[in-house]
Amino acid sequence: MQSRGYLIYEYFKSRITFGCYNLYESLPSAGTTGRQFACSPQTVRKALLKIRNEGYISLSPGRRAKVIYDAGHKKNPLLKDYLLARKAGLSDLYGSVEFTWQRFMNAGIRMMGKDDIVFLEDCVSRQEADPLWLLTVSFWTILRPIKNDLLLNLFWDTVRYIRFPYLWGSGARVTSDSDFLRAGLLRIISCIKSGDTRNIAVIFYECYSRIILASNAEAYSLGEAAGLPPQIPFQWEIWRIRTQKCYTAAASLIQKINEGIYPEGSFLPSASALAQNYGVSVMTMRRTIRLLNEISVTKTYNGRGTQVSAMNEEPLKGEKLSPEIMRNMSLSLQGLHLVCLTCGEVMRDTLANAEPADRYAFIQRLEGLLENKRPSNILPACLNFISEKSRLAYVRTVYANLYELSAWTFPLLSYSHDLGGGERSKYLSKESLNLLRSGRFGEFSDIFHKKLSQDFPWLQKHLAQLGVKDSLEMCRM
């Protein structure tokens, strides 16, 4: 099931289990739901079929789906338990907005056309629509012009974690909050028209806070008295429609090879040993090794094992790359685009709040990369630093995934000697590191962001030469 189908599945299942729909109540038609979620009725039917198979609804030809699950007295305890188990995660998410979603929204607003604004105005005019859901749809409408599927993936996973857009009507103060949300949406449209992008993220934050924090204050207060349950953190499933274990293991091995843990000319451990280390089957690890062989990172010899290839030994050739490699490289490029949009502020905040010992170790790492002339390792090192040392769990999770994805671009390009490496800018210099040593974190972060943004078109160009689809259709920085 594609991501939109998963969203519909989560949306209706959540509303049913939390008691937003009563026993024997009919769900909206497939056509109505399709218009709401901007997808085909067939996608809606597939999602409803999955819900039916789990025993929540009944389906009959020519009729709307009917709820056969009775939440009854379980409704309020379920909602309270759901909120309390995510209290720390939601608080952390709000603190991450200015470093992530505010940057994404500003990029989307710069690319919005007249049709997008008309669509937003039409949404607000629908008096029968759930205001909180309209807020989410408006957010999606702003992000859509960026044309980055990975960003939309992150957005839907974040919505699924918050889940409040699914639960409108489950105890919130509907009347007053409806007016507040519609007024907020009108302010957002006004800001877009006037070019005032600075305040839009603030308005979104105010709207979500009004619903989430105020409407559920009682659940939180009850939890404080009884003690919080084990907390459930946010997770981002970047490989939702792909084989996660295989690609995760391949990315990890690429990073280790690029970092010199497995030096050029050395042999990797056996497939069975690697399978045990990564907690996967031997068959999955053999597929992982085939991927590495395909992109010339390694070469397997019968009876000898798998050897790490020398850099620049064999250029990458697009006609020899499988569709799954192409998809991974395209996904990695989209991930680097998200890094470009956020890395300045994220790096500044991470450096400012990291322990002195962690900053010192980071500086030592960068110095070693410069001395050993391994520029392709600098970006992964920075992403890894943020993924481990950011004070915000949401940022750590996002950047851990972006670090994993980066394996499919920067290290891979190190193995291709015909891509004109001289065109690339240098991420860091000794002068940049001096800024870092002297505590001028803002200046260092600005330089890093500027250099990465300058390099992004170079990556688009050369990945397009390899045949990576859509690489030239990514939005401008």
Tell me the average pLDDT across 246-273. 90
344-350 mean pLDDT: 96
Q: What is the pLDDT of residues 1-18, one digit of tens each?
A: 455 687 788 788 878 887
Q: What was the pLDDT predicted at 237?
A: 84
Residues of the chain with pLDDT > 90, as a percent, come to 31
pLDDT of 60 above 70? yes
Instruction: Estimate the crossing angle of helix 323-353 against helix 441-465, to 10 degrees.
Output: 180
Q: What pLDDT, in 10s, does the model give residues 76-86? A: 566 677 778 88
**C-beta of residue 333 within 8 angstroms of C-beta of residue 410:** no
Separation of alpha carbons 28 and 202, rounded Å = 33
Give the model's pLDDT for residue 415: 47
pLDDT of residue 180: 78
158-172 pLDDT, tens digit per residue, is: 887 877 555 554 444
H or E segment at 53? helix 41-53
Of residues 318 and 398, more confidence is placed in 398
- Determine the pLDDT at residue 466: 75
Query: Residue 258: what residue type?
Result: N
DSSP symbols for 283-310: HHHHHHHHHHHHTTSEEEETTTEEEEPP
pLDDT number for residue 370: 83
**156 neighbors 3 (Cβ within 8 angstroms):** yes
pLDDT in tens, 404-431: 998 888 655 554 434 444 444 455 778 8
Weakest-pLDDT range from 175-179, 314-318, 336-340, 472-476: 472-476
Q: What is the pTM of this model?
A: 0.83
Please, are residues 71 and 18 in contact by the beta-carbon 8 Å criterion?
yes
Flag whether pLDDT at 244 surpasses 50.
Answer: yes
